């Protein structure tokens, strides 16, 4: 997964290395968007308001969780662009994929090839916005039809 945002736990936020390792592990355990408020609240309680790189780290963990659930092997995000490549044995059906592609008409394109690849495009969108769009797309794709 390649999402180029500053995403780390600064020592100015969490001074003790053992605490930083514990928090990295906690953030890595995020299994979906529903975990984000709990992790964020825990950090606020323990260390104060998180700086931008910490919030980015949490957001990236949520996007990666959605990518795992959807069976992606590649998620590359750039300004205005996200590329999603599905594992050949992904549980996502062609019917579900076509349905969600229709919802994202003008923003999502199915690229030719096997396994399936989807390109999301929004002119002038920032990396953070494209990552959020990719997560939203994947969550819609994995939602019960």
Domains of the chain, each with CATH number or no CATH: 17-65 (no CATH), 70-142 (3.90.1150.50)
Spatial distance between the Cα atoms of 117 and 121, rounded to a whole number of angstroms: 13
**DSSP structural state of residue 51:** P
pTM above 0.85, yes or no: yes
Q: Over its length of 145 residues, how does the chain's per-residue pLDDT go in tens digits?
A: 899 999 999 999 999 999 999 999 999 999 999 999 999 999 999 999 999 999 999 999 999 999 999 999 999 999 999 999 999 888 888 899 999 999 999 999 999 888 889 999 999 999 999 999 999 999 999 987 6
Peptide bond into 144 cis (omega under 30): no
Residue 76 near residue 83 (C-beta atoms within 8 A): yes
């Amino acid at each position: 997964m390649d999402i180029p945002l500053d995403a780390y736990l600064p020592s100015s936020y969490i001074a003790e290395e053992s605490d930083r390792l514990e928090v990295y592990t906690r953030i890595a355990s995020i299994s979906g968007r529903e975990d984000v408020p709990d992790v964020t609240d825990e950090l606020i309680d323990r260390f104060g308001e998180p700086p931008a790189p910490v919030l980015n780290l949490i957001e990236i963990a949520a996007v990666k969780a959605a990518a795992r659930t959807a069976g992606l092997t590649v998620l590359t995000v750039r300004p205005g662009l996200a590329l999603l490549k599905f594992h050949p044995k992904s549980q996502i059906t062609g019917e579900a994929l076509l349905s969600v592609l229709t919802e994202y008409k003008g923003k999502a394109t199915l690229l030719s090839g096997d396994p399936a690849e989807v390109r999301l495009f929004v002119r002038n969108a920032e990396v953070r916005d494209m990552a959020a769009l990719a997560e939203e797309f994947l969550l819609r794709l994995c939602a019960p039809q």
